[in-house]
Amino acid sequence: MQVGPIKLMKSKTFSEVMSKMNLLWEENSRLATELGAGGTTHSFMHYPWHATTAPKEIQPPDQDSAKHRDAVSRVIAAYQKAAAETVKPAGGMWDDIEARNKDFMTALQSGDANALGQILARLFQSQAIWGLGKFDENLLNDMKAPHDKSHLQLRITDALVSLGQAVGVKTVTSIEQQGVEPHIKALSVDLSQLVREIENDAGFSIASPKIGATYGCIINEKLITLDGVINGYVAHRLKQLGVTKSAAVVEIGGGFGCLAEIVARAIGCKYSVYDLPWVSAIQGYYLIMSLPEGTVKLLGEQTGSIEVLPFWHFDNLPDKSVEYIVNSDSLPEMGYDTARGYIEKIAKNLRGMFLSINQEAQAKNANSGVQNCVHAIAKSVGGLQLASRSIYWMRQGYVEEVFIPRA
């Protein structure tokens, strides 16, 4: 009811509003205490106040073995072959990341198998993984702390619920229809059942291999990592877009190789990853250690369905030769000329679909002005037609787009 400029509210309605406001304030204060000063709710797709969490697991470094030594030897040979081709990308934030990995780069460049092997054996607890996945020293230290709801445990629950909603085994809450309480309790779930339902519906396991001193949560006796869940969605999306065992997929910027590993298991198609040579070394190690012998093909090698190559080999692909291209969380971070060059080449060599999952905030980049916006570059380049654009299920602030060749 309104009397002139004054709005009146029934005492019952006012009490309900205040009750909900108090609930939100109390829960936010409790979460801030659990997660530390400042809170981290911006990292989540759902409110984490009532989240169920799974037991945490931190794996030991890889043991010295014939497989480990072979993987290290192969990535050194591939890196040094790539280095001999001496192609350098335009500047970008990855120059700074490479500079932070002095010990890793020295071992690669000198061919010091012992030093490199020690770093790769504990890859996910090393400096080398920074920027390539959801692993860093702060997360690890938080995992080691004596509490049951570390930030990473909460993020894994959050990602699993998002994946369940994306796949369709978990419904999306609605404040309008259900009120506040179900919405803020969206992460209060049976994680064992949720993972079973996701895997049954998706048709593949979202578990991560226990290599490189990785860490995450144990659910249904499987290691579940944040990257495994996030990239599990991308693999699911590729299947939705029509990728089958007879198809071929190209990934630009493959992180530490997580998506390639999942696609190898989930679909089993031909798969090529193009990246910086030192990142290719990390991908090569991870994939060789994760997949059956003979699956991985590095630069200079002859056989393997999962191919890991330096970025400039992408330019050698013939026009209209690629069925599927995927890029997740990397084109915005490259130098503008590098990112534009990729998109120009995509427009030329794509005959099927290009799946882009990236943020487009265009935040400042110390080396190259602001970060890139894939949509804006694709629009300016031409040759690509936007088939769909939507908010990304798995991460706040990201956009999922599918492009096809312009008719």
> What band does 18 get if pLDDT is binned at 50, 70 and 90?
low
Coil vs helix vs strand at 360: coil
Two tokens at 330? 């990397």
DSSP state letter for 311: G
Which segment of 14-28, 116-130, 140-154, 302-316 scores lowest on mean pLDDT? 14-28
Domains and CATH numbers, the chain: 227-405 (3.40.50.150)
Two tokens at 147? 């509490």
Whole-model pTM?
Answer: 0.88
**Is residue 272 a contact partner of residue 299, using CB atoms and an 8 Å limit?**
no
| Predicted confidence (pLDDT) per residue in 141-155, tens digit | 888 988 778 889 999
| Predicted confidence (pLDDT) per residue in 254-303, tens digit | 999 999 999 999 999 999 999 999 999 999 999 999 999 999 999 999 99
CA distance 96 to 99: 5
Q: Considering only CA atoms, give the Rg of the chain.
A: 23
Q: Which amino acid is at 154?
A: L
Coil vs helix vs strand at 131: coil
CA distance 367 to 217: 36
CA 51 to chain centroid, in Å, comes to 22
DSSP β-ladder status, 56-58 and 215-219: antiparallel
Which segment of 91-95, 111-115, 310-314, 346-350 scores lowest on mean pLDDT? 91-95
DSSP β-ladder status, 2-3 and 6-7: antiparallel
